[in-house]
Structure 1
Amino acid sequence: MPQCCVPECVNRSETNQELSFYRFPANEKQRLKWLKLIRRKDFIPTCNSRVCSWHFSNGKDEGPSRFSWNSDKTFNFPNPEPKTHVRRRKRKQLLENSVDENEDDAVQGLLVLADAAASTVNSTSSVTAGETILQIEKVMLIKENETLKKELERQKQTFSFKQIENDADKVQYYTGLPDVATVRFLEQLLGRFELTYQSTWTVQMLALVDQLLLTLMKLRLNLGNLDLATRFNCSTATVINIFTTVVGALYDILYVGMMENNIPSIAKNQKCLPSCFLPFPNCRIVFDCTEVAASNTEKPDTQCHLYSQYKGRTTLKSLIGVAPNGVITFASDLYGGSDSDKAITSDCGILKQLHPGDMILADKGFTIRDILPQGVSLNIPAFLMNGQFTQEEVVNNRQISVARIHVERSIQRLKLFTILDRIPYQFKKIVNKILKVCVCLTNLQTPILCEFQDKM
């Protein structure tokens, strides 16, 4: 049964059931105050020590103030905690915060010893007590130092967007985007939707902007999964989970939500028509095909379908449509490298989006006049038929060449996302999403043509 530890007090819970019996407070300052008030020399309270409620005339928070020796007197005690104790308490709290619940008994014993030493130290402390406190403080500082070293080492090993956001060149190198504002814009778009991770678990160890950075670095630099895992201090499984998830989200937001089936009309094109396209005012879109290296792990019959005579290796091929101002407005799914430009154009669905009066600009490989919708025209360079071009053909070929150079520059920008050099085989199922996300990110660059840059 609890018994009051105050000198000259004989109250026990079994004989005074109306009284409450309070433990000493965990707060060091309050505990020292209680010890000074009860005047019990060399007393170290334990978890079983109690003070009965008879001594608390002003409530528990004010501490015990009613004793047999001062029943007719009033005492005003000063703050029992000198400045030296404040410093020691702060150091002790730092150590307590760093001590894990499973910390070894030796450290826990030092903390108990610190409580005991602090409760007995006063202006006439002995030399032994002072030495004990110094030893305890030394252990605390060593522990604190080790904790800070581990935290610093962990921060050094983790790559994050904060490390590059103040350097425009680094942002452009790692992400392929022109500036920090564009990266933050994509972060805000992603933040509006709840990401559904491709794996069965959610990634919480990396902030959303760092997950976006990891994905952009994979697209821009095609870094290996182990490389990214080392940079971001995570596992390769986490890298794959983040990449597939963020690519899927960007595809849904940027391509499906903003770009798919949304080719600008002739009227919209004419509002920002470059001077090199003035000879082709009815041009709605410029066609070209681009190829992506394919893995050789396919079956032999599949490899035959993927083999490109033009590239001399197995590839995947996509039809790219570019507006006269240099913005990519269409990207087909990827086909086998052996498919012709005409076959891809016929199958990908682009012709369904064209209307009578539209004109397509393309190179000689697009012999597609016989499959065009009624009223849609095609302008390609003339073929040499009689050993010499006519003056009209020369002029037309030159005008087409001058206009198409900007389209080729747009596709060149697209290829700066080096994952398109060779998409890893493990991402085979999302190759179309990867291509179209890269297309959308390419459109976030500064304008191709100088005459539009001056207007921005």
Structure 2
Amino acid sequence: MSLFGNKAGKRLKLQHQEKKTSLHCCVLLCTNSSRYNSILSFHRFPVDEEVKSVWTAKIRREDFSPTDGTRVCSVHFLPGDFVGPRHLKKGAVPCLFAWNKFSIPTPRLNVWQRHPRPPTPELLPADTTEEEDSVQPMEVTVTDHDCCVTPNTSVVVYELTRENEKLREKIEQLQHQLESLQLRSTFGLQRIAGSDEDIRFYTRFASYKSFLAFWKQVEPAANTKFVRISSANAASGIPHRATKLLLVDELLLFLMYLSVGLPLRDLANRFSIHRTTVSRIITSWTHFLYHLLGSIRLWIPPEDVKAHLPPEFAAFPDTQVILDCTEICCQTPSSLLLHSEVYSSYKSHTTFKAMIGIAP
């Protein structure tokens, strides 16, 4: 019993000495101490040499070799590294330091520090002079401690930074998705500009380059002389565009109506406009291109035709034009009079008749 009592006494004495000895964190720029903070836990270096070398490398101290008294405080560990409030998991490694943009949040001031109470009149001396009133109070510096920092609150800034980065990346992805959806939701020249095959299908132009060449010839007159036709007024006299579409997209809509024969409802859905607006655009561009292209000289000078006359026309040297008649199928009109005028017994359908002339 005496031997057991001596051992118990020595153990109690050692524990009492350890409590009196304050522990300090060995990490650079960290001033945590067990003397001023009883909430934090301080941990020895692991016995495993491999894990111990990882701890030493993480701390980044030159010529540093840890001893039995060397400690690392719990501020530098993640919350998932703990089993219970003060026990580390096996293999846990410190990873939160000042050089990887981790900083301990400043503790929140208490109500007395946030709202200092003014002195009561009873405490002021009755014979206060003006000189005493002019004396500035002494500034009292209070040492900030991290008593309120726990393993859970020590990583708040680190987690918020990571969350902000993830949210910023997600916002960029959503912006790209929104731009692609906006491009897909509305039909326009930009959507088919990268495909000459689509240009040929929708406009009958050979390529996007040839379409732009035609648009550059038409654009000056479209910006100055374009007259919008409406059902209320056959010539409204509006010199600028009255729809939300660009003029080049209106031309694309008109060409799609001619080349593909899409109905008004389909064009309205593609360009996100009303069917009445589609009808006005088609009518306006029909009149505009008729007057614009009709003013261009179509006949080649006789001397040029004679200079480039093929050998097959040697017996007819004065030939200037070859004429032919063609028919284009059209919708059946509701009027019986119009139906009788446009019906073709040769095609067995209602057609528009046209005479075409071509230089030899």
Shorter-chain TM-score bucket reads 0.3 to 0.5
With a CA cutoff of 8 Å and minimum separation of 6, indicate the structure with the bigger relative contact order: 1
